[in-house]
Amino acid sequence: MTLTDIEKFLKMTRRRGGRVLAILNKLHPNFQTYMNSEIGQGLLKRDIERTDELLMKIWDETSTEQERAEFRVLKVRLEEIISQLELYLANVKMIKQAVG
């Protein structure tokens, strides 16, 4: 996406476009951190793997209260990351479609 694409999008959408770009600006650092850096990818992978381990312990009824609490924290964090990434990608797609 280029500066020209963004300008074209803003002209077409006016205030709504400004809100979409504000959301993208807010989410962009998170997106870049998780998707384009080795550290972010590693952290995300570790969280997913740990969530899987904890889920198996919960399923087998061998988890401790601390592990169940850790699972809940990881689950919320992963849901937030996924939600932010989905919103970011949806807005990028909308801008690209609008500028054609």
Which residue is it, tokens 């400004």?
Answer: 18
Provide the pLDDT for residue 71.
93
Structural domain range at position 21: 3-99
Predicted confidence (pLDDT) per residue in 38-66, tens digit:
887 788 788 888 988 999 999 999 999 99
Task: Give the model's confidence band at 15: pLDDT under 50 very low, under 70 low, under 90 confident, else very high.
Answer: low
Half-sphere CA count of 75, side-chain side, radius 13 A: 10
Half-sphere CA count of 47, side-chain side, radius 13 A: 18
Give the relative orientation of helices 3-13 and 65-99 as an angle to the nearest 10 degrees: 80
Between CA 66 and CA 94 the distance in angstroms is 42
Task: Give the model's confidence band at 86: pLDDT under 50 very low, under 70 low, under 90 confident, else very high.
Answer: confident
Output the CA torsion sign for 42, 44, 47, 50.
negative
How many domains would you assign to the chain?
Answer: 1
